[in-house]
Amino acid sequence: MSQVTVVTGANSGIGRATAVYLARQGQRVFGTLRSLAKADKLNALAKQAGVPIELVVLDVADDESVRSGFREIFERAGRVDHLVNNAGVGGNAVTEECPVSLYHDVMNVNLYGAVRCIQAVLPQMRERRSGTIVNVSSVVGRVAAIGQQPYFASKWALEGMSEGLAQELAPHGIRVAIVQPGVTKSAIFAKNVDAPNQTGAYEAPYRRMFQFYARGIAEATDPFEVGAVIHAAITAREPKLRYAVSWGAQGMIEGRRRMSDEEWVAIGALEKDGDYYDAFQRHFGVSIHP
């Protein structure tokens, strides 16, 4: 019998590639999305790959939608073996210019949405004493991204929740994995172009953030690489808690681990963009020079 996997946010980018990749490995995949009208590209990719993806309308930001969506999944499949919390949104702003409502909107998807889905699947996973929760974080879940306060705050929170969850579920035979993509080919970047800059005091952080993504998009890796890592996390005989993947992730995460906090703060104080880009490459091994 095929294992049953739910991939949230399956209509684009990493979610779409992961849903198709896991289906290729013989898993029965339910892809969730907020509207069936958004499924055209997923359906086309699945057809091209010769695999079925079962679609479920589910908005991770809404309690009742999550309950309804998982009720449908359990009625159709009877269980969920693996949950991939992929649905996410971005959010650009420095702290001074970020309304609390934006923090709430981003947290409601990136953190609370994952929690809603986890709570929906855990009772039956505990009963079977097996299952996997994969939370798709980001390189910014370990490295604070300038100009993206609500986004990286949500990913740091997701990682903290995941660390605690891993200990909570270890006695129940359920594994937790945190996947940390760098920059992959995804529609999220085309949608993430706002820069409030209301005060005019933070031009440098916004400019440097967009330069990072300009280089990242040019070097972006295939989202199927993330799908392969998620499959490895699910099937590993010796599982890890964290898996870094895609452009920039490994170097930035390891570089930040080696840095002192004082070195981290000092980078932000650099006035010239060229000096900032040089320091970024020196510490993280990633060039974001224009």
Pair of tokens at residue 101: 């409502």
Name the residue with tokens 């440098």: 204
CB atoms under 10 Å from CB of 102, counted, come to 18
Cα gap 178→285, rounded to integer Å: 23
Number of H helices, E strands in the chain: 12, 7
Q: Which two tokens stand for residue 129?
A: 């004493």
Closest listed residue to residue 15, CA positions, set 29, 27, 36: 29
CB proximity list for 200: less than 8 A, separation 6 or greater = none
Q: How far apart, in Å, do the first and last CA atoms of the chain sit?
A: 51
Burial of 44 per CB tally in 10 Å (0-12, 13-18, 19+): exposed
For the chain, the residue count is 290
Contact 56, 35 (CB under 8 A): no
Distance CA 4, CA 27 (A): 6
Q: Are 34 and 59 in contact (CB under 8 A)?
A: yes
DSSP for residue 180? E
Q: Which of 21, 103, 112, 151 is catalytic?
A: 151
For the chain, the 3-state helix, strand and coil shares in percent, each to the nearest 5, are 55, 15, 30
Rounded CA-CA distance 239/102 in Å is 35
Verify whether residue 206 is a known catalytic residue: no
Q: Which residues are known catalytic residues? A: 151
